[in-house]
Structure 1
């Protein structure tokens, strides 16, 4: 974590490296880095939200490349995997019925929508995520894209808040 003042002073490459784990969308990272300096943290967060509001299907697909299935524990050493492990702490790996239900429902979701199920996992239990997964299986493709983009925005902004301190 760095302060906003430190973030404003980083080189372009350093600032981009700091923000990249927030979301696997390089254009979003570049936009935020290029708009520095920020007068306050709220200005940064507003700019981040504004940039995220323009995301479409292409950006969603790009970002999904860095998101594991709910219930899977990513083993990678990079920052994306570390954040995913922390965010999915609500999934009890010892709960075999829950793990199996998540595995089955993830497979149904992926067969239906063609990509992994994306949800803000932080603050949700495994059971809550399973319930949401099942609910969202009834969405149309357009509804699901909108929900997945909203979840991606939440995830990204939470991660950004964890990277840049006031």
Structure 2
């Protein structure tokens, strides 16, 4: 059986608005973000899509950023979606003491900042994610909010790039 071709930008642009909205919502759980990104379609280049995604995210109010965070489980917790599971794969095989330290630091972070610790976890070990978390606990709330938004933008970009690279059937079923 031949391999399915990647969705690609052309395939993405050919989908219905509803299908594209569904896929974008799988990238970021803010419906406002997904709608506003979709409003820029069709996209002439992948960079145009990524730039639009970044601009829309930068303009979102904090309340909508909080909605976007709802789509991200705690680092070290059982991932509740395929994207998070793939991104946090290294954490799932970490030593129990590292997982326990992540759980403690996650609670400390949430108590201090009021939202889940968000970091672009792809390709990072559990120990590295714990070190980043520990370091970010020293941030003041305003600095941390900027850092978190930056990490969310990285995650959204990574997920958009992966979405376009996935086979058509897989991209359609991951939303």
Residue 39 (structure 2) aligned to one of 34, 43, 46: 34
Structure 2 CA distance for partners of 1:94 and 1:164, relative to 1, 3 Å = closer
What does the per-residue CA deviation read over 1:66-86, in whole Å, with 9 as the maximum and x for residues that have no partner? 111111122x4xxxx111011
1:75-107 Cα offsets, whole Å, 9 max, x none, are x4xxxx111011001214350110111111111
Q: Which residue of 1 aligns with 2:119?
A: 119
| Distance in structure 1 (CA, Å) of the matches to 2:32 and 2:65 | 12
Q: Report how many residues are paired.
A: 160
Secondary structure of residue in 1 paired with 2:59: coil
Alignment counterpart, residue 11 of structure 1, candidates 13, 16, 39: 16
Q: What's the counterpart of residue 108 of structure 2? A: 108
2:106–2:117 Cα contact (<8 Å) kept:
yes
- Give the CA deviation at 1:59: 2.3
CA contact (8 A) 1:118 1:152 kept: yes
Could you tell me which residue of structure 2 aligns to residue 146 of structure 1? Answer: 146
* 1:20-59 → structure 2 map (5 Å cutoff): 20-59=25-64
- The separation in 2 between residues aligned to 1:4 and 1:114, in whole angstroms, is 37
Distance in 1, matches of 2:8 and 2:66, equals: 31
Please give the TM-score of this superposition, normalised by the length of structure 2: 0.86
Provide the rounded CA distance (Å) in 1 between the counterparts of 2:114 and 2:48: 36
State the superposition RMSD in angstroms. Answer: 1.4
Match of 1:159 in 2: 159
Extract structure 1 runs of 4+ deviating beyond 6 A: none
SS at 1:24's partner residue?
coil
Q: Separation in 2 of the partners of 1:150 and 1:59?
A: 15
TM-score by length of 1: 0.90
Superposition map of 1:58-73 within 5 A: 58-73=63-78
1:132 match = 132
Q: Distance in 2 between matches of 1:124 and 1:56?
A: 29
